[in-house]
Amino acid sequence: MRVVRLPDGTEVPALGQGSWHMGERGADRAREAAALRLGIDLGLTLIDTAEMYAEGGAEEVVAEAIAGRRDEVFLVSKVYPHNAAGRKLEQALERSLRRLRVESLDLYLLHWRGSVPLADTVAAMERMREAGKLRRWGVSNLDVDDLEELGAALPDCATDQVLYNLEHRGVEFDLLPFCRGRGMPVMAYSPVGQGDTGRGALLRHPALGQVAQRRGATPAQVALAWTLREPGVISIPKATDPEHVRLNAKARELVLEADDLAALDAAFPPPKRKRSLAML
């Protein structure tokens, strides 16, 4: 089992589960919860969600999945930027806890930066940590200059969750090294491309298909193994099909060789300059 160490020393699975687009259709919720439960069975015990996803619907799906299994799961949720300070953050967190049917979160993230000063968000996060409502806080979709603005609070930031996959490698130029140098892991969302549906353009790319064929794997497994090729990255694909969940879990066993990585670099060149932070 590959693990990643958080700044406080806690170890979490390098491969977890996302929940973006879950909870949007009531008819799909039982199937979605079942997929998450299967993932837990297979060791994908870090589950990421957000109040934004289906306006709380994804959190309700996660609640079904983890019912009776809270102690097995490292639970992550995210707060809207407009709720990210003071009483609004406290209320948003309480709503998320109620939907998730838990007493606290393992990690609570600022979903992206809005008009609320980061210092106010940190202050509210710390109050909720002191109150026992969350164990750690972090951020999402923040670039190096944003993280530097955290100042003295930066060592308490547990992670930065960003868009990171073969198509979007901009964070490798400066953000990944910045975080790695501070012992802060990066959490990669959409690691197999837009929506993690398995039908995106990334997974149809010939280079990915060639590496997959050579390694006896699927393109999605290669894409996931690529995000996990170096320490300090947590990958959170979403899957609602049981077979996709099983294949995702098997991706932990795939180690890409130098020729695989060279082929992928040729098809998806690493950044040579600073790029604007990509977001979905």
Read off the pLDDT of residues 137-169 as tens digits, 9 standing for 90 and up. Answer: 999 999 999 999 999 999 999 999 999 999 999
Domain boundaries, the chain: 3-267
The answer to whether the CB of 195 falls within 8 A of the CB of 21 is yes
- The tokens 């999402």 sit on which residue? 140
Rg of the chain taking only CA atoms, in angstroms: 18
Annotated binding site: 111
Q: Is the Cβ–Cβ distance between 142 and 171 less than 8 Å?
A: no
Q: Where are the beta strands (DSSP E) in the chain?
A: 3-5, 11-13, 46-48, 74-79, 107-110, 137-140, 157-163, 186-189, 233-235
As a dihedral over the C-alpha atoms of residue 32, residue 38, residue 39, residue 40, rounded to 10 degrees, the angle is 110
Tell me which H or E stretch contains 121: helix 118-130
**Binding-site residue positions for substrate:** 111
User: Per CATH, which fold does 3-267 belong to?
Assistant: TIM Barrel (3.20.20)
Give the residue from 191, 189, 214, 215 showing the smallest Cα distance to 203.
191
How far apart are alpha carbons 214 and 231 in whole angstroms? Answer: 24
| pLDDT at position 178 | 98
Give counts: helices (H), strands (E), the chain.
10, 9
- The helix/strand/coil state of 196 is helix
Structure-derived torsion over alpha carbons of residues 37, 38, 43, 45, reported in degrees to the nearest 10: -20
> pLDDT at position 1, please?
78
Only one residue has tokens 């996660």, namely 62
pTM, full prediction: 0.96
User: Residue 280: which of 146, 145, 186, 189 has the closest Cα?
Assistant: 189
Q: Which of 130, 93, 88 is nearest to 109 (CA)?
A: 93
Q: What is the C-alpha to C-alpha distance for residues 121 and 118, in angstroms, rounded to an integer?
A: 5
DSSP bridge partners of 221: none
Looking at residue 199, its pLDDT comes to: 55
Point out the residues that are catalytic.
Answer: 53
Residues of the chain below pLDDT 70: 195-200
**Which one, of 5, 3, 7, 100, lies nearest residue 44 by Cα?**
3
Per-residue pLDDT tens over the stretch 46-72: 999 999 999 999 999 999 999 999 999
Amino acid symbol at 159: T
Q: What pLDDT does 194 receive?
A: 72
